Homo-oligomer: A and B are copies of this chain.
Amino acid sequence: MRHRLKDVAERAGVSVKTVSNVVNGYVHVRPDTRARVEEAIAELNYRPNLSARNLRKGRTGVIALAVPELDIPYFAELARHVVTAAAELGWTVLIDQTGGGREQERVVASGITDHLIDGLIFSPLALAAEDLAGLDGTPMVLLGERVDHGPADHVVIDNVAAAREMTAHLIGLGRRRIAAIGSQRTPEGASARLRLAGYTAALADAGIDYDERLVAPAPAWHRADGAAAMRGLLASGVRPDAVFCFNDTLALGALRALHEAGLRVPEDVAVAGFDDIEDGRFSIPTLSTIAPDKERIARLAVELLANRLDADPTAPPQELSAPYHLTPRESTSAP
């Protein structure tokens, strides 16, 4: 049923290698030979066996993208861009879902690199630098937070600056009791730490005292966590007039909790998020956010990988920064 080069060769009356040459677009093939071969290929509906080709070439044409969870919209949107950018280079993307635990991420980082993929784009939550030490072979690009001076390329955005800018935006609306949702004390919370740092820096810039009671932790960054954190803040009796959520799903949860509490957004409480996911453009109210250039992030990651594959694989790791911009919407509009 499934044909091989040999079958095509017999049918066209040429050698196996000539068929291979036609398939690979080698120039020195007589037009009539090429035509005969192509005809045979079409008749047999021949398709190359990629495993064999990979074995021979040492390349698979497949890269992996590992993200914590696909149904977090940010990662899904990112995945789309990575798939698109990779397709332009003729690569297929194998998407892996780590679940975000450190152990699972370690498995992905070390395990999946089994010759099946040429490279890995990895958006880790929990992974530490030492987990990456001694990984042989497969080139890797890290997305998001720096795994401090790890041995791999990475693409980041300036979380501190972005968080600071968003907090300053809230202050600019005249808000003074600005809560933050999403802090994390675990080692996994690298993004949380940086965004918190931006938040406190902006408060300091404006001469506003940091109030610990206004900072709510969130174990994960799902809608439910945002809603729970917001309810917690309201129940504790602090009365924020603005909330900076460390990502958009948290913010959507917070919007929901505020709605349930009968508070108006932005009149009573302004709400800001981070990530610019599609939902935020249609939520009620629409959500102000930090919009990282996801397409750029994806493209840079793919290019870094391509570089490491084609050029010097031993070059020192690079860190590239992707742009973002603050996108104000209804949830922080002036009343």
Q: Chain A residues in contact with chain B, CB under 8 A? A: 1-2, 45, 47-52, 54-55, 60, 62, 69-71, 73, 76-77, 79-80, 83-84, 92-97, 111-116, 134, 136-137, 222-224, 227, 252-253, 255-256, 259, 278-279, 281-284
Docked CA distance A259–B94 (Å) = 40
Give the 4 A-B CB pairs with smallest separation, nearest first.
Answer: A51-B54, A95-B95, A76-B76, A51-B55
A94 touches B95 (CB 8 A): yes
Residues of B within 8 Å of A71, CB to CB, are 73, 76-77, 79-80, 278
Residues of B within 8 Å of A93, CB to CB, are 94-95
Docked CA distance A115–B2 (Å) = 10
Q: Can you identify 8 A-B contacts, CB atoms within 8 angstroms?
A: A2-B137, A47-B113, A50-B114, A51-B115, A62-B116, A69-B80, A94-B94, A223-B278
B278 touches A51 (CB 8 A): no
Would A70 and B55 be within 8 Å (CB), given that A49-B114, A252-B279 are in contact? no
Residue of B nearest to A97 (CB): B83
The residue that A47 contacts in the complex, of B55, B115, B279, with Cβ under 8 A, is: B115
A76 touches B70 (CB 8 A): yes
Q: In the complex, how many angstroms separate the beta carbon of A333 from the nearest chain B beta carbon?
A: 14
A55 touches B49 (CB 8 A): yes
Residues of B within 8 Å of A223, CB to CB, are 278-279, 281-282
Q: In the complex, how many angstroms separate the beta carbon of A42 from the nearest chain B beta carbon?
A: 13
Residues of B within 8 Å of A227, CB to CB, are 282
B281 touches A259 (CB 8 A): no
